[in-house]
């Protein structure tokens, strides 16, 4: 059984914890898009780990982790992460496979990211400044440099010289040294080469051998380059289609899709967020939920649960179930709101609009539900949740159209409720 776990909102839904929790029931965890813009936080054995590029399964012994062709790889960021884990006693050994077709993030991509944001001024996207967008731009423009190119000195040298010259012409004032970039890449290849392989072939053989795979998404549905709130999105396909293109697998390789969503909504960076709360309530969610970016430390924008956006994520990804995270952050709130539709230019919308100006003009229509005083924090059985929390979850399920099969009530692995009767129970080995 191969399952995809992906973000159903604007990223930061808590995918890291859910992937880590599911991992023991799989043999391989594969990332299919994004890069080290992701920040997947996992608490294990009382320690906090933030995984950026490495799949969140890496903390478990014996699990093979795969970085697919759809991912953009900054070799220095990858090594820094591997070194950090080594310091914490976690060894990668031969448990990592990196696609030879994955594109590299090079030093000029980071510069171009900053430059492009500065030039956009008011229209800036609020990127993570990791060079993600410019690396994908080069890929689509067919001038990108791939991991496998590092094996061939001539190919690498001519591509890097050409790209660095173009960068020097564009930026002008500070000239980048192509020889230095090349020397760094040669050193990087020496370290990376043992992990590099044909990921599509590796995964299809693994499937034939009956090994199960978890596909780990980064960012979220509404940050998807095609289906997100364009142009305020990332540069890759975070939605389900990215699994096939980003790993070289057929659609039938995916047996189930678990969407991860918070019990409320957050977004980091620019772009519309219909249920955003700017006052005290927003601050309360941010402080209680510790809503600060795992990669950049930026405060996240917070708001109520948006069932219109969630229904859209269910449709685009074919979600079978939801993992609902951070339920405990709502503990102690007197009253909760759920956005059930939007009002836009005098009309009621029940479907998520594809056009950014229209989304920006949408006002949320709310339904109020009672909050709860008895805490959900740390609850490990559904029956232990206060009745009002159970009512809130039931209403979200009704509005979203899929079961909330997994509920997360705290940051530790153990603070999780897996509903026994749910489809996800089988994925968790229940
Ligand atoms: P980029 O991916 O760095 O180009 O940033 C594009 C947009 O995606 C910005 O709004 C970022 O804040 C957002 N973004 C990128 N990665 C993540 C993530 O892992 N979580 C949440 N937002 C993200």
Any atom of ligand 1 within 6 Å of the Cβ of 41? no
CA proximity to 69, closest of 9, 126, 149: 149
Q: What is the pLDDT of residues 398-428, one digit of tens each?
A: 999 999 999 999 998 899 999 977 777 777 7
pLDDT for 200-237, tens place per residue? 999 999 999 999 999 999 999 999 999 999 999 999 99
Tell me whether the omega of the peptide bond preceding residue 85 falls within 30 degrees of 0, making it cis: no
Q: Which two tokens stand for residue 111?
A: 């510069």
The best mutation among 12, 54, 110, 128 to test binding of ligand 1, ranked by most ligand atoms within 8 Å of the C-beta, falls on 128
Measured CA to CA, the distance from residue 55 to residue 171 in angstroms comes to 34
CA 128 / ligand 1 centre spacing (Å): 6
Q: What percent of the chain has pLDDT over 90?
A: 90
Q: Which residues are catalytic?
A: 12, 40
pTM score, whole prediction? 0.96
> Has residue 175 got a pLDDT over 90?
no
Query: 38 CB under 6 A from ligand 1?
Result: yes
Q: What is the mean pLDDT of the chain?
A: 95
Q: What pLDDT does 293 receive?
A: 87
Query: Is pLDDT above 80 for 156?
Result: yes
Kindly state the DSSP code that residue 20 receives in the 8-state scheme: H
- 34 SS3 class: strand
Residue 170 is predicted with a pLDDT of: 86
Angle CA 364–368–369, to nearest 5: 140
Distances (CA, A) of 172 to 121, 165, 168, 175: 20, 10, 5, 6
Q: What is the pLDDT of residue 430?
A: 58
133 Cβ inside 6 Å of ligand 1: yes
**What mean pLDDT do residues 353-365 have?**
97
Residues 6+ apart with CB under 8 A from 84: none
Q: Compute the CA torsion angle 14, 15, 16, 17 (nearest 10 deg).
A: 60
| Cβ of residue 12 lying under 6 Å from some atom of ligand 1 | yes
Phi, psi of 17 (to 5 degrees): -65, -45
- For residue 244, report the distance from its CA to the centre of ligand 1, in Å: 22
Determine whether 133 is exposed, middle or buried from the number of CB atoms within 10 Å of its CB (0-12, 13-18, 19+).
Answer: buried
Residue 130 scores a pLDDT above 80 = yes
Distance 222 CA to ligand 1 centre (A): 10
For residue 370, pLDDT over 90 is answered with yes
> pLDDT value at position 174?
77
Atom of ligand 1 nearest to the CA of 271: 10
- Region 369-381: mean pLDDT is 95
- Walk me through the domains of the chain, giving residue ranges and CATH numbers: 3-100+196-253 (3.40.440.10), 103-192 (1.10.300.10), 261-428 (3.90.170.10)
Beta strands 416-418; 404-408: pairing state: antiparallel
By most ligand atoms within 8 Å of CB, the mutation choice from 9, 12, 37, 135 for ligand 1 is 37
* Nearest residue by C-alpha to atom 8 in ligand 1: 234
Does residue 44 have a pLDDT over 90?
no
pLDDT tens per residue across span 301-337: 999 999 999 999 999 999 999 999 999 999 999 999 9
Rounded to 5°, angle at Cα 407 from 404 and 411: 150
DSSP one-letter code for 425 = H
Q: Tokens in use for 94? A: 């031969």
Mind giving me the DSSP string for 79-109? Answer: HHHHHHHHHTT---TT-EEEETTPEEP-HHH
């Amino acid at each position: 059984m191969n399952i995809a776990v992906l973000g159903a909102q604007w990223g930061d839904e808590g995918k890291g914890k859910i992937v880590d929790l599911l991992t023991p029931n799989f043999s391989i965890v594969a990332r299919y898009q994004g890069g080290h813009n992701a920040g997947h936080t996992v608490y294990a054995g009382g320690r906090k780990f933030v995984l950026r590029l490495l799949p969140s399964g890496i903390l478990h012994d014996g699990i093979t982790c795969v970085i697919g062709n759809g991912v953009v790889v900054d070799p220095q960021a990858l090594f820094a992460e591997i070194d950090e884990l080594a310091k914490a006693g976690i060894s990668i050994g031969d448990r990592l496979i990196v696609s030879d077709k994955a594109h590299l993030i090079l030093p000029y991509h980071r510069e171009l990211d900053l430059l492009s944001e500065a030039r956009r001024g008011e229209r800036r996207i609020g990127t993570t400044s990791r060079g993600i967008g410019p690396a994908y731009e080069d890929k689509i423009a067919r001038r990108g440099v791939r991991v496998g190119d590092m094996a061939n000195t001539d190919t690498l040298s001519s591509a890097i010289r050409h790209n660095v010259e173009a960068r020097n012409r564009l930026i002008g004032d500070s000239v980048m040294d192509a020889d230095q970039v090349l020397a760094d890449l040669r050193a990087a290849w020496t370290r990376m080469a043992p992990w590099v392989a044909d990921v599509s072939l590796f995964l299809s053989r693994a499937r034939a051998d009956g090994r199960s795979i978890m596909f780990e998404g980064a960012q979220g549905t509404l940050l998807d380059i095609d289906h997100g709130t364009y142009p305020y999105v990332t540069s890759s396909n975070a939605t389900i289609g990215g699994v096939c293109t980003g790993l070289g697998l057929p659609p039938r390789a995916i047996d189930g899709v678990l969407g991860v969503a918070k019990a409320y909504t957050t977004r980091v960076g620019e772009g519309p967020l219909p249920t955003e709360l700017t006052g005290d309530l927003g601050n309360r969610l941010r402080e209680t939920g510790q809503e600060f970016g795992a990669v950049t430390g930026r405060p996240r924008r917070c708001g109520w649960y948006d069932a219109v956006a969630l229904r859209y994520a269910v449709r685009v990804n074919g979600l079978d179930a939801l993992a609902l995270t951070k339920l405990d952050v709502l503990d102690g709130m007197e009253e909760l709101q759920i956005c059930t539709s939007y009002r836009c230019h005098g009309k009621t919308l029940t479907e998520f609009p594809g056009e950014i100006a229209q989304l920006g003009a949408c006002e949320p229509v709310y339904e109020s539900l009672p909050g709860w005083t008895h805490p959900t924090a740390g609850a490990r059985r559904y029956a232990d949740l206060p009745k009002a929390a159970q009512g809130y979850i039931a209403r979200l399920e009704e509005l979203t159209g899929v079961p909330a099969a997994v509920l997360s009530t705290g940051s530790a692995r153990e603070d999780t409720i897996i509903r026994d009767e749910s489809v996800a129970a089988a994925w968790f080995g229940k």
